[in-house]
C-alpha cells in the first residue's frame, strides 16, 4: 500500500499493539510519519456509512442529533460567517453534508440559494431532502460538471481511503478558479491537547481512534497533504472541533516535511498513559505524561487549591504556551469573577466564547455578570445567543436553582428604556 502523503510504497510500521483489537491494520509510514488503517477499502467504507447503527446511537433525527448540529452551526457561523456575509449568491456544495444543516444555514441565514450536498448515508440524506428541502445526492459526480465557489468538506478527509486523490479531484474538477474549500479535520495526534475536546467527550483512548476515522492526522501531516494537493491556507482556526481551514488553489508542492515515525509513535504511547492517569484522577501524572493536556493542567491547579493569585499566575502561564484553549480563559474568568474583578472576568469570558462559540456555560456566566452590573443590553444579547446554542434554556435553567435564560431575557428587556436600540440592533 502506497502512503497518500509521501507516495512511498510499503514502508509501514504496525501500531496495532496500542489498541485492544490487534487486527485493525493500524500503521504509521516510516518515511513521513503519516498514520492510517490498512484494511479499509473505499467500498468497505461506503458500506460502513450506509449502515444506520450510528444513527440509532445518536437518536438520529431526534433531539440528540438536533443538539449536536445546533452546536456545530455556532462554529460555522464563527468561522465562515464573515465569508458568507461578504459574498452574494455563491454556488455551494457540502460534501458529506449529513442532513444538510450547514447548507440550510447558508441558504436561510446568508441568502445563498444555490446550495447542494452529497451524503452516503441514505437516512441522513432523506431527512435533509424532506425536512430541509435540500438537493442532496450520493456523490459530487451526480450533479454533473459544475464549478463551485465554496466546497465544504467538514470532517470528511479522516474518513477517506485516498485523501490525496479525493482532494485533487475536488480542486481540479469542481472548484471555481477563485473558489475556496472549507475543511476541518480532527488532529488525533494531538488529541488530548486539542483545545476544545474534553476527555469526557472522548470516553477513553480507544474511542479517540475510531475505526471509521481511518486517517490519523497531525498538524504537519495535514499540512503536507494540502501542499501535495496544491491548496494554500488563507484562514485557520485550531480552537474548536479540530483544525479548520479555508483553502485556495496554489501550485502543488511535492516536497514534504517528514516527521520521525518513532517520535510520533511515542506521542501516542504518552497520550495513552496520560489518558489512563486522567481517568484515575491523577491529574499531575496525566500532564507529566503529555504536557499539552489542557483539562489535566486545569484540574491539577484546581485540585491543589492554590490561592486566587497563584491560580491566576498558573493559568496565565498556560495561556502564554497554549493561547487557543478556551478552558484556560474560562477558568481565569471564574477566578476573577469570584474576586469581584469584573473587567478581567468579562475579557476572559469573551475570549473563551471566541475560542469555543458553542459552550452554553460561557454565555450564561458572562451574561450573569453583565446582568448583575445592570448592563441589560449587553446581557440580553448574550442570553439571546445562549438560547440559540441551547434552545432548551427557554424552559430549563442551565444550572439548577437559577432562572431560565428566557426569564433573564424578560428581566433585561423590562429594564431597557424604550428609546435605545435593542439587542437585535433595531430601534424599539
Ligand atoms: Zn509517508
Q: Which cell numbers hold the place of 124? A: 441522513
The domain ranges of the chain are 41-262, 281-415
41 CA distance to ligand 1 centroid (A)? 18
158 CA distance to ligand 1 centroid (A)? 16
CATH of domain 41-262: 3.40.50.150
**Proportion of the chain above pLDDT 90, given as a percent:** 66
262 CA distance to ligand 1 centroid (A)? 13
269 CA distance to ligand 1 centroid (A)? 20
pLDDT of 153-162, one tens digit each? 999 999 888 9
pLDDT of 75-133, one tens digit each? 999 999 999 999 999 999 999 999 999 999 999 999 999 999 999 888 889 999 999 99
Strands 92-95 and 231-237: unpaired
Q: Give pTM, 2 decimals.
A: 0.90
Do domains 41-262 and 281-415 share one topology? The answer is no
Strands 215-216 and 35-37: antiparallel
5 CA distance to ligand 1 centroid (A)? 5
The CATH number for 281-415, chosen from 3.30.70.100, 1.25.40.10, 1.10.10.10, 1.10.287.3510, is: 1.25.40.10
Quickly state the pLDDT bin for 353 (edges 50, 70, 90).
Answer: very high
Count CB-CB contacts under 10 A for residue 396: 11
Residues forming a β-bridge with 117: 94, 136
229 CA distance to ligand 1 centroid (A)? 15
Measure Cα distances from 67 to 46, 324, 393 in Å.
Answer: 26, 24, 12
Measure Cα distances from 109 to 112, 351, 400 in Å.
Answer: 8, 25, 33
8 CA distance to ligand 1 centroid (A)? 6
31 CA distance to ligand 1 centroid (A)? 5
**Proportion of the chain above pLDDT 70, given as a percent:** 90
197 CA distance to ligand 1 centroid (A)? 27
- Which pLDDT belongs to residue 124? 87
Euclidean distance between CA atoms 98 and 107, whole angstroms? 16
Residues 409/412/418/421 CA torsion (nearest 10 deg) = -70
Amino acid at each position: 500500500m502506497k502512503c497518500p502523503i509521501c507516495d512511498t510504497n510499503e514502508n509501514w510500521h504496525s501500531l496495532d499493539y496500542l489498541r485492544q483489537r490487534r487486527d485493525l491494520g493500524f500503521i504509521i509510514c516510516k518515511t513521513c510519519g503519516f498514520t492510517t488503517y490498512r484494511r479499509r477499502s473505499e467500498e468497505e467504507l461506503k458500506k460502513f456509512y450506509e449502515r444506520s447503527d450510528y444513527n440509532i446511537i445518536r437518536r438520529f433525527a431526534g433531539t440528540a442529533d438536533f443538539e449536536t448540529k445546533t452546536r456545530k452551526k455556532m462554529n460555522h457561523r464563527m468561522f465562515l460567517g464573515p465569508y458568507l456575509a461578504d459574498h452574494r449568491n455563491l454556488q455551494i456544495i457540502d460534501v458529506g453534508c449529513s442532513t444538510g444543516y450547514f447548507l440550510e444555514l447558508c441558504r436561510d441565514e446568508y441568502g445563498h440559494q444555490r446550495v447542494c450536498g452529497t451524503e452516503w448515508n441514505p437516512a441522513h440524506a432523506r431527512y435533509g431532502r424532506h425536512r430541509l428541502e435540500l438537493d442532496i445526492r450520493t456523490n459530487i459526480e451526480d450533479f454533473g460538471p459544475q464549478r463551485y465557489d465554496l466546497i465544504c468538506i467538514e470532517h470528511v478527509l479522516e474518513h477517506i481511503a485516498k485523501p490525496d486523490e479525493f482532494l485533487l479531484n475536488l480542486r481540479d474538477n469542481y472548484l471555481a478558479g477563485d473558489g475556496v474549500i472549507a475543511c476541518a479535520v480532527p488532529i488525533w495526534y494531538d488529541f488530548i491537547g486539542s483545545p476544545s475536546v474534553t476527555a469526557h467527550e472522548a470516553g477513553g483512548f480507544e474511542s479517540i481512534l475510531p475505526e471509521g476515522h481511518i486517517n490519523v492526522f497531525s498538524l504537519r501531516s495535514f499540512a503536507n497533504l494540502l501542499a501535495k494537493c496544491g491548496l494554500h491556507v488563507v484562514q485557520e482556526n485550531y480552537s474548536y472541533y479540530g483544525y479548520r481551514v479555508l483553502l485556495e488553489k496554489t501550485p502543488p508542492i511535492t516536497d514534504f516535511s517528514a516527521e520521525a515515525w518513532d517520535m510520533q509513535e511515542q506521542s501516542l504511547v504518552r497520550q495513552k498513559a496520560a489518558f489512563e492517569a486522567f481517568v484515575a484522577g491523577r491529574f499531575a501524572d496525566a500532564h507529566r505524561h503529555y504536557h499539552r493536556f489542557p483539562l489535566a493542567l486545569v484540574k491539577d491547579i484546581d485540585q491543589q487549591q492554590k490561592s486566587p493569585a497563584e491560580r491566576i499566575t498558573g493559568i496565565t502561564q498556560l495561556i502564554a504556551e497554549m493561547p487557543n484553549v478556551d478552558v484556560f480563559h474560562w477558568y481565569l474568568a471564574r477566578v476573577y469573577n469570584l474576586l469581584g474583578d469584573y473587567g478581567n472576568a468579562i475579557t476572559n469570558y469573551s475570549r473563551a466564547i471566541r475560542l469555543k462559540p458553542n459552550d452554553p456555560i460561557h454565555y450564561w456566566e458572562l451574561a450573569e455578570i453583565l446582568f448583575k452590573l445592570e448592563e441589560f443590553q449587553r446581557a440580553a444579547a448574550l442570553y439571546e445567543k445562549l438560547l440559540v446554542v441551547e434552545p432548551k434554556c427557554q424552559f430549563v435553567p442551565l444550572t439548577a436553582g437559577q432562572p431560565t435564560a428566557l426569564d433573564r431575557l424578560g428581566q433585561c428587556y423590562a429594564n431597557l428604556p424604550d428609546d435605545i436600540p435593542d439587542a437585535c440592533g433595531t430601534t424599539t
